[in-house]
Amino acid sequence: MTFQLQIRTAQEIAETASAAHRARIVALVDDHIEARARSLGYNNAVSCVSYRNSMVQSWVDEAETFSAWRDSVWQTLIALCEAAGDTDTPLPDAETVIASLPAWPD
């Protein structure tokens, strides 16, 4: 058994923590989208969007609404990530991120 000492700078530790936080936020947003699809009665987001080619107009409308909402959710998250950039500004906590996402259209 060999022991290896790895010295990391404070910046490297902060970058690792920031990347892990971003990954958690992305997973949370994905869960948020998937939960919406399930609340509409679909197995998942892909299943919901697949109804865009349905012959039933109400399903087409719902799939198109879902797709547009999903796109705006991801665009909002991308903008939040770009605003944080490579600076010391971290992404907000998960609750703040979810609250800042576009609401489902009624």
- Mean pLDDT over 49-67 rounds to 97
Average pLDDT of the chain is: 90
Specify the pLDDT at position 57.
Answer: 98
Angle at Cα 101 formed by Cα 106 and Cα 105, nearest 5°?
Answer: 10
Could you read off the pLDDT of 7-46 as tens digits, one per residue? 888 888 877 777 888 889 999 999 999 999 999 999 999 9
Residue 87 confidence (pLDDT) above 80: no
Task: Give CA–CA dist 42/34, Å, rounded.
Answer: 9
Higher pLDDT, 67 or 95: 67
Identify the H or E element spanning 15.
helix 10-39
**Global confidence as pTM:** 0.84
